[in-house]
Chain A
Amino acid sequence: MNHPTPEELARDALGLPAPAPLAEHLAACPACRDRRDALRALSARLADAYDGAEAPADGRARLLAALSRSTAPSRPTPPPLVPFWKDPIMRRRLFAGGAAASLAIVATALWLATGPRPAFAMSQVAEAVRAARSYQYSLTMRTPQGAGEPRAVMTSRCLWLAPGSTRCETSVIDAEGRTTPDMTEIQPAGAPGIDVYPRQKLFARTKPQLGRVSPFIRVDALGSYSGVADRDLGEKTIAGVRARGFSLDPRKIEPDMQPDSAMEVWADVATHRPVLVKLTIRDASGPMVKELDDFRWDVPIDPKLFETTPPQGYTDATPPEKSPEEIAGIIAASLRTFAEFSGGHYPRVDMLYGDVTDDELARLAGLEPKPQRPPGPDAAETYRKFWDARSGFGWINSLLVDNADASYHGKTVGPKDADKVLMRWRRDDGRDQVIYGDLRTAVEAPDRP
């Protein structure tokens, strides 16, 4: 080769990857070797100079003193690196979206649990749940604590008012058992809602939930589910009420849920209304238990509780809107990553849950469950892809929840189906945002098949 340029020599001097002919040339050309060595020496001098550059000795102490006078940083939604039950998607699913859905779960579960037992008059129970004009219940979430027993980490009081307005006030519980109000989620039926964060004095506007929070919520579709209780748990007294319990596999109700989940439903033998519902979700972090109890039926609920005016003095922390094109791009990139690691298919579900799909992708990519850091330099790129893909799955879930016209067809459409619609949703401008099987995105008139 010709003599290398100074920049090529600098590459070598810096120890950066350089083309093989450069090494050959250097081996044969003393002049270039000298120039390279001079650059190396210069680099070493720079390293010396920077090595001598100390951070101010009292800098950290000064900073910490200033921080103690400053307001603590806060974020309107939990950071991505938190236990999965704090994951925004998970929370919506288990708490807020769940406010209405949970009772539908109960209705479905009871129907399933007791369908074949006419003596229990189950159809009347499901009917009673569906006929309720309002209800309230407490929801407690327990999560595993290392190797120890699961501990209650969150508790909510949830209200539901026909035709489907929900309000959930959630508190976090610390290791000493102290509860601190954490957030209030208000979602009026078919209208925009609000999340309020009292600790940070922030609020965020939420979209109307017009899509499928989960199949449970479609009470009119109850009849389309099939299955029976796996086990009759007998009768016992719960909070002074005689109740009969059943256990069943919740995947009979929601096929896209984590495997190995379990559900117990205890209903009042006299009124057939649920008294206690226990849902155990097992995933990579261990079993998480969600308990619904302290039910109150058809008690008056002030409609003002579903108003979405932010409290005085609170700051608006609603995240900026992303354009449909931008969202389509994020989703397509995530699905591309998924197909890459799955050997050529997209998540094969009807309802996509961020946490479930994250777990599956981690497994496909050969990462540890819920990886928190790159497992090593050679897997850093895999980890980065996994990390980046998560937001797309979150978007798919949000769109399916918020958008009545959203659909996702990962079960039937794969990367080779260039002309089949993989995902579609209605944009605010009335047109449809479409992602095809080959991940091409398009904007189309809504009536195109």
Chain B
Amino acid sequence: MIGNEATTDAELVARTLAGDREAFGDLYDRYARLVLAIVRREAPGRSAHDLTQECFLRAYKGLGGLQAPDRFGAWLVGVARRVALDHRRSSRRDRHRFVEAEALDVRAGFDRASAQDAEELALLMRRVAELPERERLAIDAFYLQDQDAARTAELLRLSRSGTYALLARALARLASAMGLDGPEETGP
């Protein structure tokens, strides 16, 4: 949403509550990628696009109960996780099939990359999907919010130092999973 960043979330929330649906559309533009990433991971096998729609519809209906409109992002992340959890609970399908479906879905999203490149990115995203939940949420939020760690902390409702630690742990774990970490060195 270039050119629209000056408008705060709180203003968009207020305008939505005043009946301006386009303002909620702006909030969608701002957070759809993050919500999509969350539901895709947390409720694999479901149509991530449908779940994303469901998240925003639920958020729209519940917007009146939002106490601090300037924390809309963090609240929406919570909504997305609940929506995903509800669907995961109701799902009885085999988890492995979800991972396969997930990988395909991700690859389809990268049509700008070359085939080989897409393959590699898809593998990387699979590794992200295998991270512990808090770490993968941190990675999602960080890379979908212009690598702004402070913003990530807000969205995760964590302290900055806690967020830094989470991000560092996640990246180190990914490196290890991708076989990038050399032999552990000791001594000076």
- Find chain A residues with CB under 8 A from B80 CB: none
- Find chain A residues with CB under 8 A from B62 CB: 73
Residue of A nearest to B62 (CB): A73
A28 to chain B, nearest CB (A): 10
List A residues 68-111 near B (Cβ within 8 Å).
68, 70-76, 79-82
- Find chain B residues with CB under 8 A from A62 CB: 53
Known: A7-B169, A16-B168. A42 touches B32 (CB 8 A): no
A312 at the interface (CB under 8 A from B): no
Name the contact of A54 in the complex, choosing from B70, B109, B143 (C-beta under 8 A): B109
B16 to chain A, nearest CB (A): 7
Residue of A nearest to B40 (CB): A53
- Find chain A residues with CB under 8 A from B186 CB: 2-3
Question: Are A11 and B110 neighbours in the complex by a CB distance under 8 Å?
Answer: no
Residue of B nearest to A59 (CB): B32
B188 to chain A, nearest CB (A): 6
Question: Are B143 and A16 neighbours in the complex by a CB distance under 8 Å?
Answer: no
- If over half of B's interface residues share one DSSP class (helix, strand or loop), that class is named, otherwise mixed; here it is helix
- Find chain A residues with CB under 8 A from B21 CB: 64, 67-68
A: number of interface residues (CB 8 Å): 55
Question: Are B17 and A73 neighbours in the complex by a CB distance under 8 Å?
Answer: yes
A370 to chain B, nearest CB (A): 13
Question: Are A35 and B181 neighbours in the complex by a CB distance under 8 Å?
Answer: yes
B: number of interface residues (CB 8 Å): 69
List A residues 22-44 near B (Cβ within 8 Å).
31, 34-35, 38-39, 42-43
Question: Are A39 and B171 neighbours in the complex by a CB distance under 8 Å?
Answer: yes
Question: Are B53 and A81 neighbours in the complex by a CB distance under 8 Å?
Answer: no
Known: A16-B167, A60-B28, A64-B22. A79 touches B143 (CB 8 A): no
B73 to chain A, nearest CB (A): 14
Question: Are B17 and A46 neighbours in the complex by a CB distance under 8 Å?
Answer: no
B137 at the interface (CB under 8 A from A): no
- Find chain A residues with CB under 8 A from B169 CB: 7, 10
Question: Are B33 and A55 neighbours in the complex by a CB distance under 8 Å?
Answer: yes
- Find chain A residues with CB under 8 A from B147 CB: 14-15, 47
B156 at the interface (CB under 8 A from A): no
- Find chain B residues with CB under 8 A from A2 CB: 186-188
Name the contact of B171 in the complex, choosing from A43, A50, A53, A56 (C-beta under 8 A): A43
Question: Are B17 and A64 neighbours in the complex by a CB distance under 8 Å?
Answer: no
Bound together, the chains give a CA A414 to CA B172 distance in angstroms of 50
Question: Beta-carbon contacts of B146-170 to A below 8 Å, as 1s and 0s?
Answer: 0101000000000000001101110
- Find chain B residues with CB under 8 A from A35 CB: 181-182
B65 at the interface (CB under 8 A from A): yes
**Additional A-B contacts beyond A55-B32, A66-B53 (20; CB < 8 A):** A2-B188, A10-B169, A42-B124, A45-B120, A50-B144, A53-B36, A53-B144, A59-B53, A60-B25, A63-B57, A67-B24, A67-B57, A67-B60, A73-B61, A73-B64, A75-B17, A75-B64, A75-B65, A80-B68, A81-B69
